[in-house]
């Protein structure tokens, strides 16, 4: 399972790390390209959400049951980390929806302004 977790984390970091360049490459008014990039961003965001949900349900509770003293600080830190990511993801969803509807520089910059701290938290 460790190998698979590393693969998922690496893939998510890579995909989110590529997003700013993809978003910046969409020409103003190009709704077709904005929709394509937005779809990809939403897909990666959905994968991230389900991955964190699975960790929260299937990994952290079991670790706390088996060796609470050793892992409690880590688990509680990861839960806070996931909460921060979930909060940023809501803002990102809203910004992406607006940019998808009207891909202009102001809306693009709003997406990038939310994406930047999300990438920082993920990495």
pTM for the full model? 0.87
Task: Please identify, in words, the CATH class of the domain defined by 2-122.
Answer: mainly alpha
Query: Would you state the pLDDT for residue 14?
Result: 95
Residue 10 burial by CB count (10 A; 0-12/13-18/19+): exposed, middle or buried?
exposed
Query: Would you state the pLDDT for residue 69?
Result: 86
Q: How far apart are CA 74 and CA 71, in angstroms?
A: 5
Query: Would you state the pLDDT for residue 123?
Result: 83
DSSP 8-state secondary structure symbol assigned to residue 104: -
- Give the start-to-end residue ranges of the domains of the chain: 2-122
Length of the chain: 123
Q: Average pLDDT of each block of 10 consecutive residues along the chain (123 residues)?
A: 83 96 97 98 95 90 89 91 93 97 98 96 88
Query: Would you state the pLDDT for residue 45?
Result: 95
């Amino acid at each position: 399972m460790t190998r698979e977790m590393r693969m998922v984390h690496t893939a998510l970091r890579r995909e989110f790390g590529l997003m700013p360049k993809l978003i910046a490459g969409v020409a103003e008014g190009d709704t077709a390209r904005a929709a394509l990039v937005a779809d990809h961003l939403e897909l990666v965001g959905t994968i991230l959400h389900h991955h964190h949900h699975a960790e929260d349900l299937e990994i952290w509770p079991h670790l706390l049951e088996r060796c609470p003293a050793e892992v409690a600080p880590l688990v509680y830190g990861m839960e806070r980390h996931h909460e921060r990511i979930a909060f940023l993801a809501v803002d990102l969803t809203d910004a992406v929806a607006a940019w998808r509807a009207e891909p202009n520089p102001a809306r693009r910059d709003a997406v990038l302004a939310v994406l930047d701290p999300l990438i920082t938290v993920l990495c």
